[in-house]
Structure 1
Amino acid sequence: MFPGVSIQTNTAESEALSAAHMAGMTAQQIASVPAGAETTSSLDRYLVEIADPVLRENLAREIGGMQRQFGLVFERHHPEGIRLPKHAVKRGSKVVISTVNGKPNKDSAFYRVHKLNRDESTALLVDAEGNEAIHPIESLTVAKEFGDIGYPGLRKLSEIRNGDPDAPVHTVINGENYHALEALQYTHAGKIDLIYIDPPYNTGNADWKYNDRYVDSKDGYRHSKWLSFMEKRLLIAKTLLKPTGVIVMAIGDDEHHRLRSLSDQIIGEENFISSVVWSGGRKNDSRFISNSADYMLVYARSRETLVSQDVRWRELKPGVIEALEAAASIWTAAGRDHAEATKQWRAWMKKFKASGAATDAVTRFTTLDSSGRPIRTDGNISWPGGGGPRYDVLHPVTGEPCVVPSRGWMFADPSRMAEEIASGRIYFGPDHTTQPSGLTRLEDMDSQVAESVFQRDRNVAARDLAEVLGDKRFPFPKDRTVLSRWIGLIAPKDAVVLDFFGGSGTTAEAVIRLNAEDGGTRQTILVTNNELSKADDTKLRKAGHKPGDDEYEALGVFHHVTKPRLETVVTGVREDGSIYSEGLAANVAFFELTYLDEPEIVTGHAFNDLAGLFWLKAGGVGGTVELTPGAKADGFALSESGRTAVLFTPGRAKALAEKLHVTEHTISHLFIVTDSEAQGDEAATHFPGGITVERIYGSYLEAFQVNRKD
């Protein structure tokens, strides 16, 4: 179709749009438009000239029905697929031929396994056209294609409990992010406060894969492949955001303009907030311009909702905390002597300003008030432009009228001036011969609006990650300090933060550290994969290792970087036993996205892989519910110090309710295993209001299907 992308904005489309507007009119309304009336396009003029109102309406409707796409137009490439190397090849499996004569196969076509030979060493494959071929089992990899119905599960790998038992658990999922997003539509539709993603920048340097193939600058379709890849994920991500939710997307020059256009179409141009520019250092080897800028595109789910709720993003001014603490210390050390404290304060502020740790917005507060708090006394309280009111304002010491500004007072009503004086917002000089001014306190002016351009050395992030892990394992990680700043600015302290391009895990570390700093209870859901760098992939394949092998998987980003990083940050101990820090109070659970078959779900054999999804829907607090022999005998199970209960046998509802009452175990979600609505409804009557009750298996098969064509 198109080897790249294009923008359509032609006259015919404008006329079609105008005709579409007319198509929304009734026949009487169209007929009432007088012939020759002033219109906005040539099509409008032609329609108005038609005397028969029915014909005019029919033509307007037909023209308005023409589907002409405005904005970004790109090829939507053949469906993506995901390789499942750990899944056994079975009859009926969909597969790709991963190797031919021991070498990687460049063909990404999908095949169906028609049958296996007796010793299961070879398989008869059938392609989309019905052609048959026999291939060795060892050369095949099970795969799922976009459009193949599947059922996801979350298999718990491990967890760290180093925080409050009732605190939300940070959830890290190893799996394909599109399918993880589909699963999250069940657990978190409309529940996410902030999405932060750092998708592949598509620089042409083979930094990302499409259909298991690295995309480089020689691929003439690399931009439309990237847009096709991003479109499917953003469409789902939008459904996960709260009405007040926000999405922040980091991107480079290669795709910034395309991502902006794509986001305008999917999220809405009216919901665009800003394109933030991050300058990360100089590139002196550049031929023309040292372009060190990356971007963060910021969109609201509904900008109108944010405005209607008077949401404002503010952050502390740099240096304000240090200044307020220093002022309090100096005031105490000076024995509350105003003259001495002021002298020491100005000396301290001079050094503080020279350090560059604060802006003028803080360092201009060079005066202390009578209680030792930093103030400014240069506020202009005269009438703008002149001609303002003139009335007496008495000096609090001499009792005489003060000098009136030449332009008059800025407060028209003397009673308003009296309110300002009483609240301490007016500064008086030593006597009435000096003109009063406005007084502001640093503690009242401690916040500011973030600017759309900021600077921070990009190399800091790599050094920080290497310090955590004890060696350098991951190139170009995100900067946790930058992420902490913007997450703290945009999201509330109890936010649910999603990153479905989780990479090395910076977003989760940033949230964990931010919670430790300000006492927040933010929860991260981080989705990453276990891809290897191209260099490691090539080296391991040459050594005879392939995806699915332990040696291969061990060097993937999830197992080699993300998981050990977060374990080290929380526990303070590295993989090799060396000490990194004292650790942080947080809970983290690691899961692997699995793919289940319908029979496994219906028969109950896959429950432990489903438990993670039910736990996540219940808020991700405490432990998951697992199907043990004892729980099966009881007919129910409770999550350890969690909010979830599962009723395996509806007839045991009363017994579960009694146990909850006796043990004072509070739950928020109850999942009842039954395909009978009547059984589910009757079982639910034993539990108090406020508990969300949901049947599973029957509803699960409908709600959790992933990889759907729609």
Structure 2
Amino acid sequence: MSRLTELLRQARKVDPQLGADLEAEVVELIKRRTFGLVFEPHQPEAVELPGRPVRRGDKVRVLPPRGTAVQSDHRLWRAVRVERVNGQRVVHLVELDADEPDTRAEIEDALVVVAEFRDRIYPGLVETGRVEHAPSKPFHTVINAENYHALEMLTYTHQESVDLIYIDPPYNTGGKFAWLYNDDYVDADDDYQHSKWLAFMDRRLRIARELLKPSGAIMVSIGDDEQHRLRMLMEQIFGVENHVAQLAVEMSTTSGPKTTNAQQGTIVKNVEYVLIYRKSPAFDIEVRHTPLYDGIEKWDANYPLWLNDDGTTESLYQRLDEEPSVRADIERFELVRKTGKLKGTFIGAPGMDLLLSASAAAREFILSNLTRIGRTDTPPVSGRSVDVPIGRWVEHQTDGRTYRLTRSGKGKVWQLYTLDRNYRLSDDYLPRFGRTVIRGDLWRGFHSDMGHVSNEGGVGFANGKKPIRLIKQLVKWANNSPDAVILDFFAGSGTTAHAVAAMNAEDGGSRRSIIVTNNELSKADRKVLAAAGHRAGDPEWEALGVFESKTKPRLLNAFSETAANAEFFNLTYEAPLSVRHNRAFERIAPMLWLRAGSRGRIITELGDAGWDVAEAYGVLTDLDRSSQFTAAVAATEGVVNAFIVTDDDSAFQMVCRELPDGVSPVRLYESYLQNFEINTGRTL
């Protein structure tokens, strides 16, 4: 390195800027991994902001003429001056990132403002819809936005506040539903297909980790194409020690069109994966996980015993044989021994599957006697020395639990484990009461859901829609808290929000979902609309986007069915000067409401009073009225935050001292501005 350091010193003497640029590149090269998952950290992505007026200092792109098939010009320009000429706004531009930058002037209609991911952004939210069916419940939040910037916005409202994240990102198959990167489709013939995808995911997952509580976890659906790369990426971000599971979810069967391929020797795909990582060990210490159960049709031959009330045991199969209604079916289906000493008696375990499938009487007998049917199992340590007579059972109590113990003819003590502990309602597509097994990392049967998934929510959506049951069971297993916060920032048609609302409707919970999707169009729709002279931002274009045509109508149906509350928002990009001077309050206001827990009304204006208090929070701008404000906060049960707009630290501290215990003060707009200034320093 000493030789390189000397060369850099010499370069700085000749050209200070060149020397500084070279040194920055060397620093980045040193940071790069030489083992593990190594990929090209592609240029930061950019998002176009159609409809946003061009301001001096903005980055812009020049759009192709309307109605043409000309490829978009991806060069970036800086707006250095805006003037009005013949009633039109004309913007003077200088090319960015060019050795010899061009200059040009364009009318505003030919330009679109661009935000790069390395740029400092100051987000806001504009309400586009509100449904309220249960005033006492919190609201679900649905955001139309580029999800990277939405995640940055959530670092202000939900830093370390999210219990679970579920996402279903692009699978990067290179197929007809290819995904967009910097407004270009990434197809299978792109040499950087996988590297671009990893850079795309890396930026989002790093911010997502900041949003999780220490006891939180993230669950990511993925296919074969990127599963192995995603797992390595997540281990780099969350740590190998925080890998929880990799689920294989049965999403299809080898039937239909797949049969031909399978018959020719192809191993067809039947599963997709869900990778699960926790933020820290607190996920397994502080959170209650709920086992999931799959139903089993077959009889478990390990349950041959019948427990009598007097402490004796006998054969379950003999008791079935002695039950008149069951015996009739045993004879009808010829389930009797043909030879030997026991000729004519029930054949026992080998005939149980047929008997239970064909005989209602046998099924009723089993269900009515679950506590009498048993098998032997290892006894508790304290039970091994209990005086138990051979061939009989006794009850043994220890550590607040009751065990049934028996002794075999060879003198060994056993615990009797009764069938009622293995019969319950299953978590299958069609739940039923019966024998079950605890589900492991193979999640069977979701192909049944996929056959009906297009009907969920009443809105068709063919591109990778996941079944509601999958999301519900992931949430149920990972964190069945009735007030968990669940985030999905690749929300598509809104299945996660639908699933969370349905869970609340079923058990009375107050879980909150926050979902982010954009108004992206399919490749085919973009081509047709562009040929017709339309652009992003035009009503005809926006009406066909996924948020407007799929997510919003689907969730309006879902929230109506489940009596849920919800707010719909569009993300905006604010000027810091407007924020600092309190001219953007109406668009910052929903973020304050989100930070306070998404309950009750949103304070959108303060009027002449200079303060207001809603169900969950209050806002004060006129510090001369702080006494009235703090009295109203104290009188309103459920207030958790007080947002105080002031540049004066001593005045802020004065109001803080007057606030009741349990109310957290937040200084505006210092906390907001500082949050996004700090976040700009992330490594992209």
TM-score class normalised by the smaller sequence: 0.7 to 0.9
SS in 1 for 2:239: helix
Would the alpha carbon gap of residues 340 and 153 (structure 1) be closer, same or farther in structure 2, given more than 3 Å must change? farther
Give 1:614's aligned amino acid: L
2:566 paired residue among 588, 600, 623: 588
Over 3 Å counting, the alpha-carbon distance change for 1:312 and 1:701 in structure 2 is closer
* Aligned: 1:690 with 2:662: yes
Q: CA deviation at 1:114?
A: 2.1
Q: Paired residue for 1:507? A: 496
**2:187 maps to which of 192, 196, 216:** 216
Between the aligned partners of 2:399 and 2:221, the Cα distance in structure 1 is 48
In 2, distance between residues paired with 1:421 and 1:139?
77
Instruction: In structure 2, give the amino acid aligned to 1:501.
Output: F
> Aligned partners of 2:200 and 2:113: how far apart in 1?
21
Matches of 2:69 and 2:637 in 1, distance apart? Answer: 57
- Give 1:187's match in structure 2, choosing from 146, 157, 160: 157
Change (3 A) 1:624 1:176: same
Letter in 1 for 2:613: L
Task: Report the CA distance shift for 1:85/1:512 in structure 2 as closer, same or farther (over 3 A).
Answer: same
Partners of 2:554 and 2:178 lie apart in 1 by 22
Change (3 A) 1:424 1:656: closer
SS in 1 for 2:125: strand
Q: Which residue of 1 aligns with 2:47?
A: 82
2:174 maps to a residue whose letter is: G
Written as runs of structure 1 = structure 2, the 5 A alignment for 1:56-135 is: 68-100=33-65, 102-119=68-85, 120=88, 122-128=90-96, 129=98, 130-135=101-106
Aligned partner letter, 1:87: R
Q: 2:291 aligns with which of 314, 318, 342?
A: 314
Kindly provide the CA deviation profile for residues 64-118 of structure 1, in whole angstroms up to 9, marking residues without a partner as x. x997532111111112101000101233221012215744433322111122453
| 1:533 aligned partner | 522
| Alignment match, 2:119 | 148
Matched, 1:176 2:143: no
Deviation at 1:492, TM superposition (A): 2.8
**Deviation, structure 1 residue 451:** 1.6
Secondary structure in 2 aligned to 1:594?
Answer: strand
**Pair 1:659 & 2:629 matched:** no
Structure 1 residues 592 and 345: alpha-carbon distance in aligned structure 2, compared to 1, 3 A threshold: farther
* Residues 191-340 of structure 1 aligned to structure 2 (within 5 Å): 191-205=161-175, 206-281=177-252, 282=254, 283-286=258-261, 288-302=266-280, 304-309=281-286, 312-316=289-293, 318=295
Deviations 1:370-411 (A, max 9, x none): xxx645322246899xxx978753xxxxxxx4348xxxx9xx
Question: 1:376 maps to which residue?
Answer: 373
Partner Cα separation in structure 1 for residue 212 and residue 384 of structure 2: 51
Question: Partners in 2 of 1:540 and 1:645 — Cα distance?
Answer: 45
CA contact (8 A) 2:46 2:182 kept: yes
- Provide, for residues 488-530 of structure 1, a one-character-per-residue CA deviation record: whole Å limited to 9, x for no partner: 1111322110101011000010111112222222110101111
> By how many angstroms is 1:634 displaced?
1.0
In 1, Cα distance between equivalents of 2:423 and 2:285: 24
The worse-fitting range, judged by mean Cα deviation, of 442-451 and 665-674 is 442-451
Residues 708 and 434 (structure 1), Cα distance of their counterparts in 2 relative to 1, 3 Å cut: closer
Query: 1:596-652: CA deviations, max 9, x gaps?
Result: 01122122221111011111111111121111xxx321111123xx20110111121
Q: Which runs of 5+ in 1 are unaligned?
A: 1-64, 321-337, 356-362, 394-400, 410-415, 572-582
Q: Deviation at 1:466?
A: 3.6
Which residue is equivalent to 2:23?
A: none
**CA 1:441 to 1:87, structure 2 compared with 1: closer, same or farther past 3 Å?**
same
- Give SS of 1:242's match: strand
Matches within 5 A, 1:482-521: 482-493=470-481, 494-521=483-510
Q: CA deviation at 1:270?
A: 1.2
> 1:420–1:426: 8 Å Cα contact kept in structure 2?
no
Deviates more, 1:134-143 or 1:478-487: 134-143
- Deviation, 1:436, is 8.0
Distance change in 2, residues 1:199/1:353 (3 Å): farther
Q: Distance in 2 between matches of 1:675 and 1:609?
A: 20
3-state SS of 1:626 partner:
coil
TM-score normalised per structure 2: 0.77
In structure 2, the CA distance between the partners of 1:390 and 1:187, relative to structure 1 (3 Å rule), is closer
Residue number among 611, 623, 627 corresponding to 1:636 in the alignment:
611
> 1:392, 1:402 within 8 Å by CA — same for their partners in 2?
no
Structure 2: any 5+ residue segments left out of the alignment?
1-29, 298-318, 330-351, 425-435
Q: 1:364 to 1:94 in 2, by over 3 A?
A: farther
Secondary structure in 1 matching 2:224: coil
8 Å CA contact retained: 1:180, 1:593: yes
* Partner Cα distance (1:658, 1:531) in 2: 47
Rounded Cα–Cα distance in structure 1 between residues aligned with 2:322 and 2:139? 47
Q: Does 1:702 align with 2:674?
A: yes
Query: Could you list the per-position Cα deviations for residues 224-270 of structure 1 after superposition, in whole angstroms to 9, with x for gaps in the alignment?
Result: 00001000111111111111111101011111111011111111111
TM-superposed CA distance for 1:420, in Å, is: 7.2
Deviation, structure 1 residue 681 = 1.1
State the Cα distance separating 1:308 from its structure 2 match: 4.4
The offset of 1:196, in angstroms, is 0.4
- Which residue type is aligned with residue 72 of structure 2? K
Q: How far apart, CA to CA, are the structure 1 residues paired with 2:562 and 2:58?
A: 45
d(CA) in 2 for partners of 1:236 and 1:421? 45
Name the CA distance, whole Å, in 2 between partners of 1:273 and 1:194: 13
1:126 Cα deviation after fit: 0.8
2:248·2:272 contact (CA, 8 Å) conserved in 1? yes
Match of residue 390 from structure 2: 402
User: Given the alignment of the two structures, is residue 680 of structure 1 paired with residue 652 of structure 2, yes or no?
Assistant: yes
C-alpha contact (below 8 Å) 2:487/2:515 kept by paired residues: yes
Q: Percent identity?
A: 35
* Alignment CA distance shift 1:214-1:434 (3 Å): closer
Count matched residues: 578
Q: From 451, 463, 467, give the equivalent of 1:475.
A: 463
In structure 2, give the amino acid aligned to 1:276.
Answer: L
Q: How far apart in 2 are the matches of 1:237 and 1:525?
A: 13
Return the match for 2:534 from 523, 540, 545.
545
Which has the larger displacement, 420-429 or 594-603? 420-429
Aligned partners of 2:236, 2:400: CA distance in 1, in Å? 53
- Residue 318 of structure 1, CA deviation: 3.9
Q: Does the 8 Å contact 1:313/1:449 carry over to 2?
A: no
- The answer on whether the counterparts of 1:462 and 1:475 sit within 8 Å (CA) in structure 2 is no
| Cα-to-partner distance string for 1:178-227 (whole Å, 9 max, x where unaligned) | 11111111211111111100000111125210001111112111110000
Evaluate the alpha carbon distance shift between residue 449 and residue 391 of structure 1 in structure 2; reply closer, same or farther with a 3 A threshold. closer
Cα RMSD of the aligned pairs, angstroms, is 3.7
1:422-477: per-residue Cα shift (whole Å, max 9, x none)?
96632779xxx9998614252587586432112335474474444633x5344331
Q: 1:194–1:498: 8 Å Cα contact kept in structure 2? A: yes
Report the CA distance shift for 1:678/1:690 in structure 2 as closer, same or farther (over 3 A): same
Q: Distance in 1 between matches of 2:109 and 2:442?
A: 53
Name the aligned partner's letter for residue 63 of structure 2.
S
SS in 1 for 2:509: coil
Letter in 2 for 1:216: D
| Equivalent-residue separation in structure 2 for 1:598 and 1:345 (angstroms) | 80
**Could you tell me the TM-score, scaled by structure 1's length?**
0.74
State whether residues 114 and 124 of structure 1, in contact with CA within 8 Å, keep that contact through their aligned partners in structure 2. Answer: yes
